[in-house]
Amino acid sequence: MSRTTLTEGQTEKIAELGALVRELRAIRGWSVQALAERADVSPQTIYKIEGGDMVRPGVTTLSKVASVFDATAADLLDEVGL
């Protein structure tokens, strides 16, 4: 699905999700590489999520990332209103 199929509001929420992940990572003092290793995803995936470039992170991917923050994918989505 391309970014153009999202509404402006949805695009903003995806960007907020990325900012939340970046903030949680920064609080822990982790590099992108460190988060990627802990979540068992590629650093490129983390860059895409944090940059708001991943239109719809898969549930599995988001769950892996959330779990390293002792959260669920639903927790992260709720935090940004998705």
CATH class of 8-80: mainly alpha
Q: Tell me, yes or no, if the pTM score tops 0.85.
A: yes
The residue length of the chain stands at 82
Q: What is the mean pLDDT of residues 6-10?
A: 83
- Residue 23 CA, chain-centre distance (Å), reads 10
Q: What is the mean pLDDT of residues 67-80?
A: 96
> For residues 15 and 8, what is the distance between their CA atoms, to the nearest angstrom?
11
> For residues 20 and 60, what is the distance between their CA atoms, to the nearest angstrom?
18
What residue segments make up the domains of the chain, in order of their start? 8-80
Query: For residue range 22-56, what is the model confidence (pLDDT) as tens digits?
Result: 999 999 999 999 999 999 999 999 999 999 887 77
What are 31's two structure tokens? Answer: 């590099």
- Dihedral of the alpha carbons of 6, 25, 48, 43, in degrees to the nearest 10: -160
